[in-house]
């Protein structure tokens, strides 16, 4: 038994001795450094915030543009209310100067005078204040040079002052319209020399002729140059082959719209049942607005005026990717 205990004690001593000896194994040597050490990476820099909408992806369609449905020959306050109720977002008014002042008057006869210019403009401004959409008033000026500047009631300055008094404060544009010889008189020069931001000049005629006029007599800002071409046509009338370079209504509108010489191009006049002509002007020519309503009488609440607007509205509903009825927030020129 004593020998057995000695043997166990001996084995235990050997075991303790082995535990006290450090191991001879070690980790593998480190890898040699690369021949060309890489530069230290810089910490990532914070990116500035992105502002504004992202650009459209390459090849995407352009955004739809605003369009103006312009009520024709609105000569009374009642006509203004009716037109805006129907859906018009711009108003065309014929203005005639008489010794005592300016009137809404198309025919310039002893019996054709309607409301005063101020009454019509005031009604339009009031409707805008009430929330109706009114982009601009198209001034079809029948006799712009009838009276000199000394006539404080009937000069072109007097009409412009009425526009600035009533339309400008509520954000409504004023489009002063000229045609033929009227574009070469004193009134045109007066307006062209001092346009406010909400004002523009319109000339009725072929695109090339209108470009020459604007280049000669102003305005300098292309955005404030507006071309119009049209007629009081019947639904059966031919307005030309839009894709041609002819002198017809539709080709001249198309030439103007693709020339980049004008801020806007407007056509006229869409009447009840003139679907073909309306769609040519709006679609093939690419105009920015059309006059609609009766062909040869004052605007009023009537089946034909509602029907004419319905033609314009119908095209817009079918082409929402191209055009939409302009709102008060849209920039004019």
Asked whether the beta carbons of 240 and 246 are under 8 A apart, the reply is: yes
**3-class DSSP state for residue 78?**
helix
**Active-site annotation holds for 51:** no
Torsion of CA 152, 155, 161, 166, to 10 degrees: 110
SS (H, E, C) 166-183: HCHHHCCEEEEEEEHHHH
CA distance 235 to 257: 23
Asked whether the beta carbons of 69 and 313 are under 8 A apart, the reply is: yes
The gap from C-alpha 123 to its chain's centroid, in whole angstroms, comes to 24
CA distance 159 to 153: 8
CA distance 57 to 217: 41
Asked whether the beta carbons of 114 and 298 are under 8 A apart, the reply is: yes
**Which of 72, 86, 106, 166 is an active site residue?**
72
Q: List the one residue out of 212, 214, 278 whose CA is nearest residue 249.
A: 278
Q: How far is CA 96 from CA 18, 165, 305, in A?
A: 123, 18, 24
The Cα angle at residue 286 between residues 209 and 251, in degrees rounded to 5: 45
Residue written as token pair 């008489």:
98
The residues assigned a catalytic role are 72
């Amino acid at each position: 038994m004593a020998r057995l205990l000695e043997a166990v004690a001996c084995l235990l001593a050997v075991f303790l001795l082995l535990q006290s000896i450090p191991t001879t194994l070690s980790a593998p040597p480190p890898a040699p450094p690369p021949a060309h050490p890489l530069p230290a990476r810089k910490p990532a820099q914070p990116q500035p915030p992105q502002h504004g909408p992202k650009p459209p992806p390459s090849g995407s369609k352009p955004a739809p543009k605003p369009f103006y449905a312009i009520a024709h020959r609105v000569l009374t306050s009642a006509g203004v209310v009716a037109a805006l109720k129907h859906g018009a977002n711009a108003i065309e008014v014929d203005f005639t100067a008489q010794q005592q002042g300016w009137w809404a008057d198309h025919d310039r006869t002893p019996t054709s005078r309607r409301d005063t210019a101020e009454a019509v403009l005031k009604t339009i401004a009031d409707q805008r204040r009430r929330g109706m959409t009114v982009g601009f008033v198209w001034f079809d000026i029948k006799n712009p040079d009838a009276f000199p500047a000394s006539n404080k009631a009937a000069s072109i300055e007097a009409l412009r002052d009425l526009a600035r008094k009533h339309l400008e404060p509520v954000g409504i544009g004023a489009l002063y319209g000229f045609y033929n010889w009227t574009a070469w008189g004193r009134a045109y020069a007066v307006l062209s020399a001092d346009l406010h931001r909400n004002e523009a000049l319109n000339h009725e005629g072929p695109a090339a002729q209108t470009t020459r006029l604007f280049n000669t007599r102003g305005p300098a800002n292309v955005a404030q140059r507006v071309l119009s071409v049209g007629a009081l046509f019947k639904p059966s009338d031919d307005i030309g082959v839009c894709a041609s370079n002819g002198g017809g209504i539709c080709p001249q509108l198309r030439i103007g719209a693709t020339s980049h010489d004008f801020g806007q191009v407007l056509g006229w006049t869409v009447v009840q049942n003139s679907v073909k002509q309306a769609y040519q002007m709006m679609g093939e020519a690419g105009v920015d607005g059309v006059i609609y309503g009766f062909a040869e009488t004052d605007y009023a609440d009537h089946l034909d005026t509602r029907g004419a607007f319905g033609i314009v509205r119908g095209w817009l509903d079918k082409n929402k990717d191209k055009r939409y009825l302009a709102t008060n927030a849209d920039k004019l020129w």
